[in-house]
Structure 1
Amino acid sequence: MISCSKPQFLKPADPLWLEDRLDIDPNHATAFVYNPYISLTLQQQRKQLPIFNNRNHILYLLENYQTLVLVGDTGCGKSTQVPQYLLEAGWAGEAKAIAVTEPRRVAATTLAARVAEEVGCALGDAVGYCIRFDDCFHEGRTKIKFMTEGILVREMMADPLLRKYSVVILDEVHERTLFADIVMGLMKKILRKRKSLKLIVSSATLDAKFLKNFFNNPVKNEGKDTAVIMSVEGRKYPVDIYYLKEPCPDYVRAVVDTAIAINKYEPPGDVLAFLPSQEDVDRAVLMMKEQFEVQSKDVLKLWVLPMYGSLPNSEQLKVFRSTPRGLRKVVVATNIAETSITISGIKYVVDSGFVKVRWFNPATHLDSLVVVAVAKAAAEQRAGRAGRTHSGKVYRLYTKDEFEKMEASSPPEMQRSDLSMAVVQLKALGIDNVLRFNFPSPPPVQNLLCALELLYALDVLDKNGNLTKPCGTTVAEFPVSPLYTKILLMAGEFGCSEEILSILAMLQIQEVFVRPLRGSDAMKARMAKQKFAVAEGDLLTLLNVYCAYVKNRMSRDWCNKYFLHYKGLKRAYRMREQILKLAQNFNIPIVSCSNSVTILRCLTSGLFPNAAYLHYSGVYKTIRGDQELHIHPSSVLYSQEQPKWLLYCETLHTNQSFMRDVTVIQPEWLEELAPHFYQKVTEKDF
């Protein structure tokens, strides 16, 4: 068992150091085989990919069918090669381009860079990308355009039939993100209108027959199928999979111990470790660095890198750099590294067995982040990271029995999310009856009704369910939550848009304060945080941090002095500039004020659905749903006297439900600014 105490290993001479504590899966047993793959030229690498032998089959099927469901195992090369095959076959001619969607921003940017390198062009020329708040492409010249699924939905608003694209590739559809399901539902409509448009639905693990039946339309094609399935073999190199004999009490500590042990007893090769949240990743990175300092000098030095969605793009790209001689790279990542992106040199994978997902409860109106066990499909995806370029080993920090009990796949995000943003997008695209929209996996009706109710309360929809003007149409154009867009629209009326812009930009980065785990630095970090803290709560504290950052000329040294994430603040500055341009396009007055009450009232005008009061039992409860909540330990209000009324930006559920990014308000503001949502009553009214 891997425990919090120092693990007892076998002698270094024994290469199977974990097998006294791990059960090896006999179906995956193999010997290490040297692979010279990385020394080959790009063209030689392309020809060695499993998908290369299927190039002509893919092009033939696309000529004869409108939709191709491409099931390609991890490592087959589908994400990088299929767009190039289409480009080489002339599908991007006549002022047309090839659109490739990815579920994550880092996947879109890294794949675009890789494909541009293989094509032999500068990034942004023939191959480019477009993600939220960042793009690198040339209209008319870019022939392969990588983008997130949300960006494609926004392009549909301007061009409902996607006339500038000849082929659309939906990659990694098995993740079933919210926008992936929206795109599939919309593409089904577009394909019926545009017979010349081709669609490729690509993934490593998906229900191919289900998707074929969803897109197939033989009635419109004289009885002939319009969709077809093709499978491509993937992983070239075998992988050994190990399980724990007994469950571990602390998966973060277990990941750290396993990575340290791999470095001590296993041959050279980089490590990829999976943890559920950013907080877990940061904690593991810090623990690994501290623990390695006391290790023997006879082992390779560790180059430990974090990897998660809110990390600045420049920091994310570090994990793709080649490992210098004498070092072993250890990438500690969330599920962002499960699919699409390939980190060269990974030979060992450590799987904690957990993932953080967003889960919406329509009864309590809470959209919570919940840590749950991964599905079998996700576990296989993680294991596949070790077999991309050579044989490898996977250490699963759970038992074989627990693996057998896991769900086959995760439920689609459409069925477990707040649908307010999805409803706005569909309404903007002309889908009047959202309840009858043809989703691949229909969401619960109660979730849709909750979204419609919230949007009506925000004045985004009128009583007939249509987008209001200008509020509704503006919310549809902004790439942030409807609650935040409503705040920004009201900021012009309150006269505090400068401050609201800064707060919204700061909310787009998950972590602002550096939090050392122990020692004198931990105390210094807490004292530095108190210099920015205000009694009004976290949002005005974030505003203080941003203003001080700009006032001190965005200095890295200043950030280090006050234990602030320099890269995160730098990203917030760039995002603020992007949101500012959007605000100016919609004629929102850009004005400033110095009155904190005005800013708090403005925040209340948009965040009013997320209100909680201090119950006489000593815990907070939501006004609607009566859900018990607690202030998150990272809040500046955590160790202070509990205010009676709060607004929160999101909730996080672990052993309890926590409110994050909280702000103190007055209850009369809710009556004044949201009378349609809240009504003051006395007990006798019940």
Structure 2
Amino acid sequence: MGGAGCARQRQLRRALAGRMEARSPPAKRLKTAAWRSQGGNYATGRNMEQQRRELPIYRARAKLIGQLRHLDTAIIIGETGSGKTTQIPQYLYEACIGGHGVIAITQPRRVAAISLAARVSEEKKTELGTLIGYTVRFEDLTSHKSKIKFLTDGMLLREAMVDSLLCRYSVVILDEAHERTVQTDVLFGIVKSAQRKRKELNKTPLKVIIMSATMDVDLFSQYFNQAPVLYLEGRQHSIQIFYTKEPQNDYLHASLVSIFQIHQEAPPSHSVLVFLTGQEEIEAMSRTCKQISKNLPQGSCQMSVLPLYASLPPLQQLRVFQQGPKDRRKVILSTNIAETSVTIPGIKYVVDTGMVKAKRYTPESGLEVLAVQQVSKAQAWQRAGRAGRQNSGICYRLYTEDDFEKFLNMTVPEIQRCNLASVVLQLLALRIPDILTFDFISKPSPDAVRAAVDQLEQLGAVERKNNQIILTPLGIKMAAFPLEPRFSKEWCRENYVNSRNMTMVMEVRRQLRDICVKFGVHLKSSRADTSNVRRCLAHSLFLNAVELQLDGTYLTLDSRQPVVIHPSSVLFHSRPPYMLYNELLHTSKCYMRDLCVVDPEWLYEAAPEYFRRKLKGAKT
């Protein structure tokens, strides 16, 4: 075993030799960061108040409070690690800015909202859920005492459906605005409207703060009525950037080589964060790393490999924040979930593949696929900023500097590249009279909006009256569920038990059951009979139906797009005549994931007019 391990290690070293070239970018391009731990007690050895005072933002505290006190809207730009996300809400609360209302801080992802709330609660020496709380999908840890509330973009948007003026909030902080998620873009318009209407009605003013480490400042300032931009200066630890000499054809192999090069040379206390594109890559890389680490020479540093991706249960996500044994290196394999507010303590090295998995939607074909693509420059700098939170750090970029200069400056807003069915449903629930005239910061294409309306109409969620689109009673129920519209006719339980999901399934079921009871949805168990569940999916996902062809291939019934079954599916070696998919992943081929076998008659029942010309095997 030892000889094989040495041989493998030598192979990795040879593969890396000459591959990486150290670059010392000009001073203005170096990213620096201050450490801000989250999600647990990492403050051993140092007083927490002293940590707060050492953050770069502390030096600007008095000036910042004075500016924010007199501004209705402000845009705050601060480097990663400046402390803006954890400190500004506390500054506002301590200075009584906003009066007796709640201070809301939105995050694109639930793990960020939870870990940030835990950190701020720790700093304030209060129990989480009292003064500081959080709300994410299917989990609400707040009370009537909560004055600082972290929540996901989607949850604040859902609150706006009930109260469009957001009356309970005195300050809304939209954090990580540069990510430009669909929910964030919609929130921009919602809070801007709420701020204006509250002023017109002489109600308590709403203060709006937009924060990011990097942003198209002119666009945001112009959108928010020429709002002033406040820059937070200061840096603690430098980050050295390394680029490859040559382009890498296989970024996964290059990542593996980089991990073990670092593992051999760096002290065990230095953790590594590797950015990959998705769950499959992460799990495969995790298995490979664990296998190779077993074969390293005796006496070598041990390795703890931890995955981090959105569908991972929250308790497993939070494992990355826990301190491990001092003689074991922590290697975190993550999607872009770790790019922003999620700060993992102890990270010294970042390995950036330069790739990300992003949605792409084509209204003409009705296909929404997850495609692997290059990151933007803004994303690359965000990734580099994860290193060196405690000390100086190093970022290995697995692409050349010339390639980096060709990256887009900013990420294309998600609202311009995704299915808008959920957005349209939410806006109609917010009583927006004309979706096309909604005040988007970046307007989606009219074709995408029309395609979303058509899809909702086919699902029975909307109808046209007097040249207006309005919600049907079913659509009102759909909007109440924190799910995609196609998953909202009733709750569909999974066919198989997944141990990673069971920790949350009872809480999710309870909340969904409460919503069903509230809206009078009849509840009845299907027990062992899966036909009802599959029939329900057929009535919801009929737009995602595929048909087996005579040559053994599959085509989507809607656009006749060639698709194949993903190798991870239990149906990979079978050929059912008709199936539904939940997601398309486009790599070398267009793969279907999350499949369900259905009867063509069920599809015809769901939308007879739609399938009259499309189904070959259905009754006519």
Task: Flag whether TM exceeds 0.5 (same fold).
Answer: yes
SS of the residue corresponding to residue 158 of structure 2 reads helix
Q: C-alpha displacement at 1:456, in angstroms?
A: 0.6
Matched, 1:135 2:140: yes
Matching residue of 2:22:
24
Q: Deviation of residue 65 (structure 1)?
A: 1.9
Taking a change above 3 Å as real, the CA distance of residues 126 and 33 of structure 1, as seen in their structure-2 partners, is closer
Alpha-carbon distance in structure 1 between the residues aligned to 2:157 and 2:12: 52
The verdict on how the C-alpha distance between 1:681 and 1:292 changes in structure 2, with shifts beyond 3 A counting, is: closer
CA distance in 1 between partners of 2:181 and 2:397 (Å):
25
Report deviation, 1:337. Answer: 0.4
CA distance in 2, matches of 1:174, 1:682: 44
Aligned residue in 2 for 1:214: 223
Corresponding position: 1:656 with 2:586: no
Note if 1:178 corresponds to 2:111.
no
> After the TM superposition, which residues 600-679 of structure 1 pair with which residues of structure 2 at under 5 Å, given as runs?
600-640=534-574, 642-679=575-612
Give, in whole Å, the separation in 2 of the partners of 1:7 and 1:134.
48
Contact residue 91 and residue 97 of structure 1 kept, 8 A: no
> How many Å separate the matches in 2 of 1:252 and 1:583?
45
State the distance in 2 between where 1:105 and 1:73 align.
22
* Partner in structure 2 of residue 319 of structure 1: 320
Tell whether the 8 Å contact from 1:70 to 1:200 is kept in structure 2 after alignment: yes
The structural deviation recorded for 1:261 is: 1.6
**Alpha-carbon spacing, 1:674–1:327, altered in 2? closer, same or farther (3 Å):** same
| Residues 29-66 of structure 1, C-alpha deviations (whole Å, 9 max, x = no match) | 99x99999974211111111111111122222222221
Q: Residue 652 of structure 1 aligns to which amino acid in structure 2?
A: L
Q: Deviations over 1:492-529 (max 9, x none)?
A: xxxxxxxx5322xxxxxxxxxxxxxxxxxxxxxxxxxx
- Aligned CA RMSD, in angstroms, stands at 2.5
SS in 2 for 1:441: coil
Q: Output aligned runs, 1:379-458, within 5 Å.
A: 379-458=380-459
Q: Which amino acid aligns with 1:115?
A: V
Q: TM-score, normalised by structure 1?
A: 0.82
Instruction: Indicate if the aligned counterparts of 2:302 and 2:327 stay in contact, CA closer than 8 A.
Output: yes
Unpaired stretches in structure 2, ≥5 consecutive residues: 1-6, 36-41, 200-204
Which residues in structure 2 correspond to 1:82-121 (within 5 Å)? 82-91=88-97, 93-94=99-100, 96-121=101-126
Q: Distance in 2 between matches of 1:134 and 1:581?
A: 14
* TM-score normalized with structure 2 length: 0.91
Structure 1: distance between partners of 2:374 and 2:476: 39
Partner Cα separation in structure 1 for residue 413 and residue 448 of structure 2:
14
Match of 1:590 in 2: 523
Q: Distance in 1 between matches of 2:316 and 2:420?
A: 31
**How far apart in 2 are the matches of 1:9 and 1:473?**
57
Tell me the residue number matched to 1:257: 257
Quote the residue 1:242 is aligned against.
242
The counterpart of 1:485, out of the listed 468, 484, 488, is 488
SS at match of 2:608: coil
Distance verdict in 2 for CA 1:595–1:388, change over 3 Å: closer
Q: Residues 28 and 238 of structure 1 are in contact (CA less than 8 Å); yes or no, is this contact kept in structure 2?
A: no
Instruction: Name the residue aligned to 2:346.
Output: 345
Unaligned ranges ≥5, structure 1:
12-16, 217-224, 489-499, 504-542, 547-564
* 1:554-565 aligned within 5 A: none
Alignment partner for residue 54 of structure 2, among 36, 41, 48?
48
| Structure 2 SS opposite 1:20 | coil
Q: What is the rounded CA distance, in whole Å, between the counterparts of 2:532 and 2:375 in structure 1?
A: 44
Structure 2 counterpart of 1:145, from 142, 145, 149? 149
Relative contact order, CA 8 A, sep 6+: which one is greater?
Answer: 2
Residue 19 of structure 1 and its aligned partner are, at CA, apart by 7.2
**How do residues 475-624 of structure 1 correspond to structure 2 at under 5 angstroms?**
475-486=478-489, 488=490, 501-503=492-494, 543=495, 545-546=496-497, 566-593=499-526, 594-624=528-558
Query: 2:202 is matched with which residue?
Result: none
Deviations 1:431-458 (A, max 9, x none): 0100011100001111111000000111
Which of residues 52, 64, 72 in structure 2 aligns to 1:66? Answer: 72
- AA partner of residue 110 (structure 1): S
In structure 2, the CA distance between the partners of 1:610 and 1:18, relative to structure 1 (3 Å rule), is closer
For residues 17 and 550 of structure 2, the distance between their equivalents in structure 1, rounded to whole angstroms, comes to: 54
Structure 1 CA distance for aligned equivalents of residues 407 and 33 of structure 2: 31
Point out the more displaced range, 583-592 or 461-470: 461-470
Find the aligned partners of 1:33 and 1:451 in 2 and give their Cα distance: 42
Deviation at 1:370, TM superposition (A): 0.8
Q: How many residues align?
A: 592
Give the corresponding residue for 2:86: 80
Deviates more, 1:592-601 or 1:269-278: 592-601
Write the distance in 2 (CA, Å) between the matches of 1:449 and 1:617.
Answer: 35
Q: What SS does the corresponding residue of 2:488 show, helix, strand or coil?
A: helix
Taking only the aligned residue pairs, the percentage that are identical comes to 41
- Check whether the contact 2:69–2:97 (CA below 8 A) recurs between aligned residues: no
Give 1:449-468 correspondences, 5 Å limit: 449-464=450-465, 465-468=468-471
The separation in 1 between residues aligned to 2:66 and 2:437, in whole angstroms, is 35
Name the structure 2 match of 1:536: none
- Residue pair 1:28, 1:239 contacting (<8 A) in 2 also: no
Q: Deviations over 1:316-355 (max 9, x none)?
A: 1111112322121111111000000111111111111111
Partners of 2:34 and 2:410 in 1: CA distance: 33
Read off the aligned partner of 1:138 and give its amino acid letter: S
